Chains A and B, each alone.
Chain A
């Protein structure tokens, strides 16, 4: 009897993740085109309009990159946590708690130097993200509770806290019926680099290098990989695997929290439910597509930022914004399938 069997390839092309992404993206564009055709829309027109409105001018390019900031930062956080083979599904909550921490510090402190003030607030965002993942990190390390579930649950809790704050103690009377906290003062707005592009983008570049260093060049990154590969090998090597997992989770949560801080200080300027539009979830897709590589996350995050800007403007010609979501999700789907064929080989074998 003949059978098809899977064999793991001994060597995998170095650029395989990039090729998978590319092919996945092409597949996604084809799927998007089919859906547009069904709706009697011309795909080429639609996509070129999207392209023009997302990167065609300084103004649109800067909006796209602004959108990319939270995707990249949260994606980097997810990739750091994945070094110990753990999944952070809680970036969305961490973004919110980052923003909440910023507002909390803003309300309760006073600084004379605005730049120092901004620095403190950014730090508060980072700490807020870390605090958000603290309980999942503790339950993971101490009791072995599955972090996918606990980090997911924290999203709901933090969202609830946000709703409470902006309807209760922090509710801005001036915002009338729209629940939101009061605006922060202009002195703590993040400056822009060009067009509307936030200073946050520079922070993003800096943190991409930082994540790359941490994951790939530092002793800590090595220890995380060993701990993630085999807990027994970690013990054997004298590496405290639980400690590494704990620290990785706090750092990763902090990255997402920082994203929340930047959103608040450069986009929304106040705490509201609009702090994140699912960035924490899209960031999972971004991180997964790139195989958890920081520079890849930077590039794909930027692309996805442009896609969602493009997606939101094509509403004007009567196309649903969901086309952008469909393309993002299909890219991941296609890329994962293609990556599978890079990693494995299918052979015909005699049955045993």
Chain B
């Protein structure tokens, strides 16, 4: 009897300078559900993409049923029975369920589609006609069709990349039951990627943990490993606060009162009863795995999203009904998580991007004099040591660090009273991270009230005075940084709240 249905040895893969995978080992037992755990950017999706033949590794070997595979492309991987559900759906929206399921030439239910469809509908507790168009399905139903698609093309190894990220708790529970039945009845081998410890615990028999492109734990038995253990493997050991936090704080600058936000499309409650307050000279950290409502919260505070209930008070003024510009006039700055695309407009010059915050103020407008804007950009470049070829260069020709410095500089130059900084250092190199941290701390010392949203516990512990943990749209934990326990924060981020 062979031990593993699939075995990966010493795989490496880089993208430019980023080592996405370094000497990674990974192996699956037939008919079992395996968990793959790791922070965002750990390399989980890259590994799955290699197994399904989408990326080619630079180094290492892949064995399927003990046979070494020279090179995998999407077609050969599919023939060998490897199928993947991607983080983003890959269904054809304008086609029916039936067409999507039978599209693949590997389809094994050509003649008995009806019976097969009924059988798996029962397993997935799905009750929709196969003639229905994908576009008419809910997110949860689409997810089920994605997984069913793998069954129809006879994939025996099913790689599911964060399938629960888009599901409600009830749907997640249903998915667990379906996957258990698939592994037992059809002997499917399953890989489940997730951030949530509870899911890893509930779904899987074996667990692998990745961090920074390396496999830091292999083939652990889920029942034997503790939550603390997993969190430490996933996040690593964290050094506590190195920055002086004895600076003076002042009056409350931002308060957010009982915010509720419901997604129009799915009708799902994204934010529930969010309350927070930040004083001048204070950094409040929001810890949480991305996708737990942080983007929506930041959009609501900055005025981008207006369809919510609750109150936003900036500097003692209720701005709940006010738009983006009037909040900016009260000196609020927002550094969005999506640097290029939200904070900065691609295809537009460095100069134009540098004035996005202040262009409507008399200092620059209303004629938008070229010399005034150029001077403004020059002062940003000097003050924040930004490297840009020239003012007319297209923004995306700048490096990530310089883009972020331009964005931060633009948002900070007017010495804002309230700053929302969302994932300000994600994807940046060490020097750029250090520069951005210094900027935030300087701004704190100048009396700004700062909301720092991050997934990086290092960063949060280093910079914050206080910490809230967000999980599934709620603040599930609030701590003072001096007394905060890192493991507790990590556990709360993964949904374990005692």
Contact = CB atoms under 8 A, between A and B. Distances in A.
Interface string A209-234: 00000000111011001101110111
Interface stretch (A123-131, A132-140, A235-243, A295-303): A235-243
A141 B14 CA distance: 42
A228 B1 CA distance: 61
A229 B357 contact: no
B304 A235 contact: yes
Contacts of B462: none
Nearest to A218: B368
B324 A222 contact: no
Contacts of B355: 222
Contact of B56 (A10, A238, A352): A352
A116 B436 CA distance: 62
A8 interface: yes
Interface string A3-18: 0000011111010000
B298 to A, nearest CB: 11
A233 B341 contact: yes
A110 B95 CA distance: 60
Nearest to B395: A229
Given A219-B359, A233-B356, A238-B323, A228 B368 contact: no
A21 B347 CA distance: 22
Contact of B368 (A11, A222, A233): A222
Given A229-B348, A232-B342, A237 B368 contact: no
Interface string B365-384: 11111100000000000000
Contacts of A219: 359-360, 365-368
Interface stretch (B113-121, B253-261, B385-393): B385-393
Nearest to B389: A11
B389 A10 contact: yes
Contact of A236 (B58, B304, B369): B304
Interface string B382-410: 00000001101110110000000000000
Contacts of A352: 14, 56, 58
Contacts of B367: 217-219
Contact of B338 (A12, A232, A237, A238): A232
Nearest to B325: A238
A331 B205 CA distance: 66
A233 B345 contact: yes
Contacts of B303: 238
Nearest to B370: A217
A12 B397 CA distance: 11
A85 B352 CA distance: 16
A238 B346 contact: no
A230 B369 CA distance: 23
A238 B366 contact: no
B344 interface: yes
Given A219-B365, A232-B341, A10 B393 contact: yes
B334 interface: yes
Interface in B293-343: 302-304, 323-325, 328, 334, 336, 338, 341-343
Nearest to B14: A352
A114 B367 CA distance: 35
B239 to A, nearest CB: 34
Among A8, A217, A222, the most chain B Cβ lie within 10 Å of the Cβ of A222
A248 B304 CA distance: 24
A232 B341 CA distance: 6
A8 B343 CA distance: 22
A219 B56 CA distance: 48
B89 to A, nearest CB: 21
Among A12, A85, A236, the most chain B Cβ lie within 10 Å of the Cβ of A236
B368 A230 contact: no
A217 B369 CA distance: 6
Contacts of A218: 367-368
A233 B390 contact: no
Contacts of B368: 217-219, 221-222
A11 B357 CA distance: 25
A324 B341 CA distance: 43
Interface in A169-212: none
Given A233-B342, A352-B56, A222 B347 contact: no
A204 B194 CA distance: 63
Contact of A233 (B56, B344, B359): B344
A236 B366 contact: no
Contacts of B334: 236
B491 to A, nearest CB: 34
Contacts of B344: 230, 233
Interface in B1-32: 14
A222 B346 CA distance: 14
Nearest to B347: A229
A229 B304 contact: no
Contacts of A237: 324, 356-357, 359
Contacts of A233: 341-345, 356
Contact of B346 (A11, A221, A229): A229
Interface string A244-269: 00000000000000000000000000
Contact of A10 (B58, B325, B397): B397
A306 B389 CA distance: 39
A219 B370 CA distance: 11
B56 A229 contact: no
Interface in A73-124: 85
A230 B342 contact: yes
Nearest to B368: A219
A79 B342 CA distance: 25
Given A233-B345, A238-B323, 9 more contacts: A85-B347, A219-B368, A226-B352, A226-B356, A228-B347, A230-B342, A236-B356, A237-B324, A352-B14
18 contacts: A8-B394, A11-B389, A11-B390, A85-B347, A217-B367, A217-B369, A222-B355, A230-B344, A232-B342, A233-B341, A233-B344, A233-B345, A234-B345, A236-B343, A237-B356, A238-B325, A238-B328, A238-B360
Nearest first, the 9 closest Cβ-Cβ pairs linking A and B are A229-B345, A238-B324, A229-B348, A233-B345, A238-B325, A230-B345, A10-B397, A11-B389, A232-B342
